[in-house]
Amino acid sequence: MIKYALLLSLAACAALTSCQTGKTQPKTCVEMPPYQGSAAFERMKSLVGKWSGESPEMGTMNTEFRLIAGDSVVEERFAEGTPMEMLSTYHDVNGKLTMTHYCMLRNQPRMKLVKQTANSLSFDLAPTPGLNVQKDMHMHGATYTFIDANHFKLEGVSWKDGKSSPCGAPVIFTRK
């Protein structure tokens, strides 16, 4: 009886852990077809990797893009491990690219793609629960310009007291 209970426990543990993620488990729990996002999402995917740029105001800036959630979300970690650390996520909603920026200002502005060209993606603020645009300082927009496979330019739009506020000079990032 004890052997049976032990075997049953081991089988249950194996079943429960078979879908957990980990770097040593190369297969997914559920076989899914490759994710194909909007053209704008696929463009953001081209940024996957580590990047570095120089800002006159902030000095060296590092950011890293990676794919998560079955490759359906691009995650950007900016200034990881510093007091300036921030996180942005990019994913499609009904075929349109959206962004959520988890800011060091302790808010989470949501943005939607408002302009797309062959070489750029521009985001602007979308309705964001809990964000008072007339009072709260926040990131209000961003434009990513794709220079080539190893360089992109980021221009941010900050907002303070209900109007545009300086956000610093555009920064050109180079792939590491």
Three-state SS annotation for 48-68 = CEEEEEEECCCEEEEEEEEEE
Condensed to tens digits (0 to 9), the pLDDT of residues 23-55 reads 555 566 678 899 999 999 999 999 999 999 999
pLDDT of residue 28: 60
Range of the domain at 97: 37-175
Condensed to tens digits (0 to 9), the pLDDT of residues 51-69 reads 999 998 889 999 999 999 9
DSSP one-letter string for 120-164: EEEEEE---TT--TTT--EEEEEEEEEEETTEEEEEEEEEETTEE
Q: How far is CA 54 from the centre of its chain?
A: 20
The verdict on residue 153 lying in a domain is yes
The verdict on residue 25 lying in a domain is no
The verdict on residue 168 lying in a domain is yes
Give me the number of domains the chain comprises: 1
Q: What percent of the chain has pLDDT over 90?
A: 78
The verdict on residue 90 lying in a domain is yes
CATH number at residue 163: 2.40.128.20
pLDDT of residue 57: 86
Tell me which residue of 76, 78, 81 sits closest to 53, measured CA to CA: 78
CA atoms within 13 A on the CB side of 65: 23
Query: Which single residue is written with the structure tokens 């988890």?
Result: 102
The verdict on residue 113 lying in a domain is yes
The verdict on residue 4 lying in a domain is no
The verdict on residue 161 lying in a domain is yes
Q: Tell me how far apart the alpha carbons of residues 154 and 121 are, in angstroms, rounded to a whole number.
A: 10
Confidence band (pLDDT; 50, 70, 90) for 11?
very low
The verdict on residue 67 lying in a domain is yes
**Residues near 144 by beta carbon (within 8 Å), at least 6 away in sequence:** 44, 47, 120, 121, 122, 152, 153, 154
